[in-house]
Amino acid sequence: MLVDAFPYQKFGVQKGTIRTVSTSPYRPGELDAPIPYDQSVYRVTVGLSKQSVTAYGKEVPLKSGMTLQGDLIVDRRTLMQWMLDPLMTLRRG
């Protein structure tokens, strides 16, 4: 997770675990969100591993209303596994 108020290049990233995902998507305007969206979205709740950011040697607590951005890691493979996967699929097929 990248905390928008703290550039990740200087302050690093936060790790988190997905706790819940809404069962159905929200259409534009249905969800009160701090950022605009023009496509259907799912509401995701993430539990952060830390509730603060280390900035200039001090722990700065995250505050309600701060925005974050995140990437979902859905698969872990080595580069070699990723490169050989198409060949292995052909071999199995």
Alpha-carbon distance 4 to 42, whole Å? 20
Share of the chain above pLDDT 90, in %: 69
Do the Cβ atoms of 44 and 20 come closer than 8 Å? yes
Single-letter amino acid code for the residue at 92: R
pLDDT tens-digit readout, 31-57: 888 888 999 999 999 999 999 999 999
DSSP, residue by residue, 34-77? SS--SS-B--EEEEES-SEEEETTEEEE--TT--EE--------
Of the CA atoms within 13 Å of residue 6, those in its CB half-sphere come to: 20
Q: Which residues contact 51 (CB under 8 A, 6 or more apart)?
A: 61, 62
Confirm whether pTM is higher than 0.75: no
DSSP assigned state of 4: T
Q: Each residue's pLDDT tens digit in the chain (93 positions)?
A: 999 999 999 999 999 999 999 999 999 989 888 888 999 999 999 999 999 999 999 999 999 889 999 988 888 889 999 899 999 888 887
